[in-house]
Structure 1
Amino acid sequence: MQEPQPKNSLLFKITTNLTFWVLIAIIAAILLGHFSPDTAVKTKIIGDWFIKIIKVFIAPIIFLTIVLGIAGMGNLKKVGRIGIKSLIYFEIVTTFALAIGVIVAYIIQPGKIDKAGLDIGDASKYTGEKSDFSWLQFFLDNVTLQVLLAAIIVGILLNYSSKREKAVSFLYKCSNIVFKALKFVMYLAPLGAFGGMAYTIGKFGLHTLLPLGKLMITIYITMAIFIFIILGGILRYFKMNIMEFLSYIKAELLIVLGTSSSEAALPNLMEKLEKMGCSKSVVGLVVPTGYSFNLDGTSIYLSMAVIFLAQLYNVHLSFGEIVTIIGLLMITSKGAAGVTGSGFIVLASTLTAIHKIPLEGLAFLLGVDKFMSEARAITNFIGNGVATIVIAKTEGEFLTEEPEEI
């Protein structure tokens, strides 16, 4: 009998990697869609069921992450000015990232095929009848927004409660359970990717792979621009070089690249930022808070993904609707920190709230979502490092000595 592969072997690492199985599923789906389109179209139900399971997690994840994020601000009060300054910086930079994603998506138009989207007819058949936009109706029809409002109110009330610590501890346990369940659901991602991709190729043909490729390239280029020009420009203002900073944290970047999660290198980043010159108090406050409120890469990806799907399904978005999307993502993206699949949840919740872009497009997007997670994680990671340096510099809590290697 053949002996099992040791856990440190290359073959074991490859075959136990979810991305590997998503890739296998995509290849199988493309082949089925091309050579047996009639059969491939029938696999749509697999992708649909995966989306339905994902939708179950939308309300609890948004509620728990927003409540915990706001309730955690009780600690920010102890350092007053630093906490407020951090939150203002996070909102400005992530909003800028969202706007960049929208602008680049409209310039390059990755969702267009020969200047048109998919030939599916009227997209309203997927989302319901068209109606004039109303903010009141928009709120009343969307459970996501109601959950967001409830979460904000509960989070604020908890800050003034004498039992805040017990409540937060309980909610953290609930959050861990929900995210652990989501982690197991994401093991079904290869099936979801297979169903969505096979249906798309079988229904619309191989040429639909073009917009997916364009989206991946566009997102990687946009995030590179954001890192080297935007974040690089911020560091340059404070007399620092982005390349030197990236070289200093190169080991941590490799960890993030390998795990597709910026949280994997969190302890190392905090230690290096302290050795670099940032005070322990600033690092201890800004870095953990940034993992919930400062997700530059995720913001870019989410805004581009929404516009991509709108282009793919020929859905026209008015300027007001685009502003609404950015506003929604400013809030919902705060629940997409460090957990595989949570960014997908945020995207689903945003599409559900807008109720104009077909939610079934998520199955199509799932095929390449895993291959963009590295770019999101690395951008988030670098963004949080830069944020910590900025806050330390503006607070006069940054030493001028050369950073020591560790």
Structure 2
Amino acid sequence: MAELQAPASAGKKKKGPFYKLLYVQVLFAIGLGVVCGIFFPDFSTTPGVKALGDGFIKLIKMVIAPIIFCTVSSGIAHIQDASKVGRVGVKALIYFELVSTFALLIGLAVGNWFQPGAGFSGKMGDAAAVEKYAGTHRTTVDFLLGVIPDSVVGAFAAGDILQVLLFSILMGFALLALGERGAPLRALIDTSAQAVFGVINIVMKAAPIGAFGAMAYTVGKYGATSLGSLASLVGVFYLTSALFIVVVLGTIAAIAGFNIFKFLAYIKDELLIVLGTSSSESALPQLMEKLERAGCARPVVGLVVPTGYSFNLDGTNIYMTLATLFIAQALNIHLDLMQQLTILLVAMLTSKGASGITGAGFITLAATLAAVDPRLVPGMAIVFSIDKFMSENRALTNIIGNGVATVVVAAWEGELDRAKLKAALSGKLEPITA
């Protein structure tokens, strides 16, 4: 059976000066961006600096659709039992719902315990700036219809992950049904995937530049002191996310047979890229490649990661419950137990309905506030000014959650190579051979 592999050079552990390591370069670029944003805000907010970060994210988005198509369609086409795809999908969705519920509950518990919005005093914020988000939320029917592309080409052109995923699954089953007649096309897709991984390796060399531009622009525009009295919310959100990653995901990882801290070290390059760009998309293709190299079967990676990108938003779920309580506390609106339980139920739905929409975190917050208590909606203006800082943590938590989910589902399905996983997490991963 043909194997979909990244280029051999991608798996080699080359020794050399520390400053040649990607994560070191990205970390240095982030620090430089912060310094530049603080001391040279006028320069940092120029269109040219902003374009560095935006350009890098666009380069990554350029290859997301091809990677998903090649990985998913080829993975399904190479398996012998078609029912396996359904099992993986069902297990992934069960896992997503369970862990998402934990994320919502933790956000709710921490928000009630710390009460970051209590005693809030400050301006309401720019209500006009959030108005466009308040009416953007799609219904469940709109979301389901939106998964079906108007055309295959349109799905790839728009880069809609769920639409590309749908077509990729259908193509995979079609190739599976063709049997030997589909072998030439399967081989072409496998070769195309190797080429796209090669493109990713080239693009990732620009990661430090993109991280510098994105971070410098963010700090230059909003200022190091722009958090003001909202710093408590930012701090509590980061603390809650860390608690979720260490306790919840750490426990799940331990049950699945791996260490969460070693896993974080393994994907440190991707985490730093997400930190610098505030976008989980920027590391999605490389995360998929690393998970496959760490022993997760190709069909599992191809199905769980793209699906989790839309259905397993742990960081977004924590943000929604925490931000809802913060706004209620800031506006002195008491939420009883039933209203807080409503937050859980509504957030579970709204987090799916806003998948793939620009400003999804804010859109889901608007929908949740409106469902819980319409009086809370104007309070979105309070947290709007710090949403950029919050989005970084949302993206980091989301990508960690999806990485852990992929390993867990692979282990659950019996599609995890434990030897490769151990080698990857211990830093002794062997070079990939054709």
TM over 0.5: yes
- CA 12–338 in structure 1, closer or farther in 2 if over 3 Å, else same: farther
1:95 maps to a residue whose letter is T
The residue type equivalent to 1:91 in the other structure is: E
TM-score (norm 1): 0.62
Structure 2 stretches lacking a partner, 5+ long: 1-28, 46-71, 77-81, 124-133, 161-217
Whole-Å Cα distance in 2 between the matches of residues 235 and 16 of structure 1?
Answer: 38
Query: Is the CA contact (8 Å cut-off) linking 1:97 and 1:299 kept in structure 2?
Result: yes
1:96 is aligned to 102
- Alignment map for 1:39-188 (pairs within 5 Å): 79-113=85-119, 147-151=138-142, 154=145, 166=150
The whole-number CA distance in structure 2 between the counterparts of 1:299 and 1:228 is 17
1:225-304 to structure 2, matched below 5 A, reads: 225-304=243-322
Question: 2:405 maps to which residue?
Answer: 387
Task: Tell me, in whole angstroms, the C-alpha distance in 2 between the residues paired with 1:234 and 1:274.
Answer: 20
Shift of 1:170: 5.0
Q: How many angstroms does 1:92 deviate by?
A: 0.8
> Residue type matched to 2:306 in 1?
P
Q: Aligned pair in 2 of structure 1 residues 151, 258: CA closer, same or farther (>3 Å)?
A: same
Distance 1:276 1:99, change over 3 A: same
Q: CA deviation at 1:319?
A: 1.8
CA displacement at 1:154 relative to structure 2 = 4.0
Distance in structure 1 (CA, Å) of the matches to 2:373 and 2:41: 31
Count of aligned positions:
293
User: Closer, same or farther in 2 for the Cα pair 1:318/1:21, shift >3 Å?
Assistant: farther
Q: Give 1:302 shift.
A: 1.2
**Candidates 322, 325, 331, aligned match of 2:349:** 331
- Equivalent residues of 2:327, 2:382 under 8 A apart: no
Q: Secondary structure at the match of 1:359?
A: helix
| Counterpart in the other structure of 1:59 | none
Change beyond 3 A, Cα 1:14–1:336: farther
Q: Secondary structure at the match of 1:332?
A: helix
Deviations 1:227-253 (A, max 9, x none): 111101111112211111111111111
C-alpha separation in 2, matches of 1:313 and 1:165: 42
Q: Return the alpha-carbon distance in structure 2 between the equivalents of residues 119 and 284 of structure 1.
A: 46
Deviations 1:127-168 (A, max 9, x none): xxxxxxxxxxxxxxx9888x524336647xx8xxxxx56567
Percentage of pairs with the same residue = 47
- Mark the CA change 1:219 to 1:80 in structure 2 (over 3 Å): closer, same or farther: same
Please tell me whether the aligned partners of residues 118 and 314 of structure 1 are also in contact (alpha carbons under 8 angstroms).
Answer: no
Matching residue of 1:161: none
Alpha carbons 1:279, 1:392 under 8 Å: kept: yes
Contact persistence 1:292–1:335 (CA under 8 A): no
Larger deviation, residues 317-326 vs 257-266: 317-326
Q: Are the counterparts in 2 of residues 97 and 300 from structure 1 also a CA contact under 8 Å?
A: yes
d(CA) in 2 for partners of 1:330, 1:235 = 23
Q: Is the 8 A contact 2:241 2:397 kept in 1?
A: yes
Quote how far apart the aligned CAs of 1:220 are: 0.6
Q: CA deviation at 1:87?
A: 0.5
- Aligned equivalents of 1:175, 1:151: Cα separation in 2: 18
- Is the CA contact 2:270–2:286 (under 8 Å) kept in the aligned structure 1? yes
Amino acid at match of 2:139: L
